[in-house]
Amino acid sequence: MTAIALPALPDVGEGDVRIPPSAVVSDALAVAKRNLIGLMRVPTTVVFSTVQPVIFVLMFRYVFGGAIRVPGVSYVDFLMAGIFVQTVTFGSMNTGVGLAMDMQSGLIERFRSLPMARSAVLAGRTIADAVRNLFVIALMVLVGFAVGFRVHTGVLEFGGAVLLLVLFGVAFSWIMAYIGLSTGNAEAAQAASFPLMAVFVFASSAFVSTATMPGPLRVYANHQPVTATVNAVRALVLGGPTAGKVLTALVWTVGITIVFAFLSVRRYRRAV
Amino acid sequence: MSTNYAIHVEGLVKRFGDVLALSAIDIDVPHGTVLGLLGPNGAGKTTAVRILTTLLEPDAGEARILGMDVVRQPNAVRASIGLAGQYAAVDENLTGRENLRMVGQLTRQPASTARARTDELLERFDLVHAADRPAKTYSGGMRRRLDLAAALIHRPPVLFLDEPTTGLDPKSRSDLWGLIGELVSDGTTLLLTTQYLEEADRLADHIVVIDEGRIIEEGSATDLKERLGRTLVEVKFPTTRRARIAARQLAAIGPTELSDGDTTVGVGVTDSGKALLDVVRLLESVDLAPKSMAVRQPTLDDVFLQLTGRGPSADDEQPEPATRGAA
């Protein structure tokens, strides 16, 4: 016989080994750590997710901004809430693209063959993307300050706005996770999510007041998650009636997260 | 009894739409042995491995690893197996060391154990010099070694390697074979899929040949070669004219074929020692002096060709001979 002792495996009879609840958290953190190391080693991903919103800030602030009138507020203050939401929404595409790349590279297969929590790969990815979003939001706030944006409320409201933005980013990350796992191909995931993002972000109150849009478009724009979140963030940083808008935004955020986390985990279990 | 085997597969069926990927296959792998699953692309090898490693559910039949059911006890199975798939599944942005520690952590080992095991594997797989470089800087052979190390981090008693050396250069392939050989001598049970007959010949105790989802032959490498391959006495002549004359004469000893621009006559024989003498005597009697003579032992490639009517890695684009399904 051999000198190498095989590890003592639990004798489970006909039952299965249970994944301890603590593992749901520790496995997710292990995967999140891996993704964050990746982000730090390949900073281009983070850089590019800020380049686009910065261009939008400059374009809307200095090119179109002069022609856009928003009653009762300076356009740069109006704009930045939209830019923040746009940043986290488009940033969520990284979640889907990253997962699709992991499928292509065979990493997802490895994870699925390990005795780890089934939710960990997806949760770890969304946690890492939330951290990235926080960083990108901070950067965009600085850009905003540089072009004349000011917070009209207090620190508490501003903190609430950042928290809402991060949560909304997580919600959209789950939509993108589902798309990424369904396509299983980074280019396809990107191609599939861009038009979707555009429909959410541009047909919203992010850059202009929805009141200027024609009938059916206005109805859609007024009743979709990006508008709800932009309105809530805007109220949190500029003042005015806030509670109802934040509640609407939270309902969308929580709803999207629950539905797409469920769909994504189910998709992950039978990912090919 | 199924628990007498490290891997026990009975009547396993998997369909993808209308395609029958596995049609009721049975496989038993005794503890501490190596099974080579051999077959062309699309034969069902990877499907079988994916079911056995809990990645895919079968449509019918049963598969047990160390007595545990892959469908009903997936986590218990996952804790006992290591898998290295067709592509090296490593995180390119992490270093070799980080990759191994991550997998160590995800297999729920104490941090100190995972660290020690990581160092041990880096050493054993000759990756110490590259341990702190991102895996994207690794060569193909290094990636495969890292991937194999990751599959071993939790000391799984049963290991699955799906085409472990596909796409590697001969040196890296032979290095990897050496490492796999060591694992097996440590008592690990191994199921290996491959398109390379040499690989199965070198590593496997028992070979199962599958084609179109069915087992078409099985046995040890020697077994298969004896039963299905044939020994050739190859006689090379300086001119094609002499070779043709010799071929007619040598047909008295066994079936002949001309090759190598019609300068070499191959004679199919069973007892190569006796046949060699017969060939020499016959050539002497008709005064035909050969340039050289050799005995070619059967290879698994011959066996494969015999069984499936095509080479092991034959591309689908190639026209297939009409002799399919000889078994």
pLDDT tens digits, one per residue of B232-262: 889 999 999 999 999 998 888 888 888 888 8
pLDDT tens digit sequence for A6-35: 444 556 677 788 888 888 899 999 999 999
Whether A6 maps to a domain, the answer reads no
**According to the model, what pLDDT value does residue B311 have?**
55
Please report the sign of the dihedral spanned by the C-alpha atoms of residue B137, residue B142, residue B146, residue B147. positive
B45 Cβ contact partners less than 8 Å away, ≥ 6 residues apart: B37, B38, B39, B162, B163, B193, B210
Q: Which residues of A touch B103 (CB under 8 A)?
A: 110, 114
Cβ distance B187 to A110 less than 8 Å, yes or no, reads: no
Of the candidates A14, A16, A109, which has its C-beta nearest B75's C-beta?
A16
Whether A7 maps to a domain, the answer reads no
**According to the model, what pLDDT value does residue B128 have?**
94
Interchain contact A10–B (C-beta under 8 A):
yes
Cβ distance A106 to B102 less than 8 Å, yes or no, reads: no
Q: What is the arithmetic mean of pLDDT over B140-166?
A: 91
Superfamily classification of domain B2-226: P-loop containing nucleotide triphosphate hydrolases (3.40.50.300)
Residue B121 reports pLDDT greater than 80: yes
In angstroms and rounded to an integer, the radius of gyration of the C-alpha atoms of chain A is 21
Q: How far apart are CA B316 and CA B321, in angstroms?
A: 12
Interchain contact B103–A (C-beta under 8 A):
yes
**According to the model, what pLDDT value does residue A11 have?**
62
Interchain contact B114–A (C-beta under 8 A):
no
**According to the model, what pLDDT value does residue A138 have?**
92
A35 Cβ contact partners less than 8 Å away, ≥ 6 residues apart: A98, A124, A125, A128, A129
**According to the model, what pLDDT value does residue A185 have?**
87
Q: How far apart are CA B52 and CA A107, in angstroms?
A: 18
A55-69, B62-76, B292-306: least confidently modelled range: B292-306
Cβ–Cβ pairs < 8 A, chains A and B: 104
Q: Which residues of B touch A103 (CB under 8 A)?
A: none
Kindly tell me the number of DSSP H helices and DSSP E strands found in chain A: 11, 0
User: What residue ranges do the domains of chain B occupy?
Assistant: 2-226, 230-297
Interchain contact A106–B (C-beta under 8 A):
yes
Edge-to-edge strands, sheet with B231-236: B256-259, B264-269, B231-236, B292-296
Residue B97 reports pLDDT greater than 90: yes
pLDDT < 70 stretches in chain A? 1-12, 271-272
Instruction: Count CB neighbours of A153 within 10 A.
Output: 16
Whether A17 maps to a domain, the answer reads no
Give the number of domains in chain A: 1
Q: How far apart are CA A106 and CA A3, in angstroms?
A: 33
Asked if B260 contacts B232 with a C-beta cutoff of 8 angstroms, the reply is no
Confidence at B136, pLDDT banded by 50, 70, 90: very high
Of the candidates A9, A38, A41, which has its C-beta nearest B80's C-beta?
A9
**According to the model, what pLDDT value does residue B230 have?**
72
Nearest in space to B57 (alpha carbons), one of B67, B47, B46: B47
**According to the model, what pLDDT value does residue A4 have?**
42
ipTM > 0.85? no
10 Å CB burial of residue B81 (0-12, 13-18, 19+) is buried
Interchain contact B111–A (C-beta under 8 A):
no
Q: Which residues of A touch B80 (CB under 8 A)?
A: 9
Range of the domain at A38: 22-269
Cβ distance A113 to B83 less than 8 Å, yes or no, reads: yes
Interchain contact B327–A (C-beta under 8 A):
no
Cβ distance B79 to A9 less than 8 Å, yes or no, reads: yes
Kindly report the CATH number that applies to the domain delimited by B230-297.
3.30.70.920
Whether A15 maps to a domain, the answer reads no
Interchain contact B54–A (C-beta under 8 A):
yes
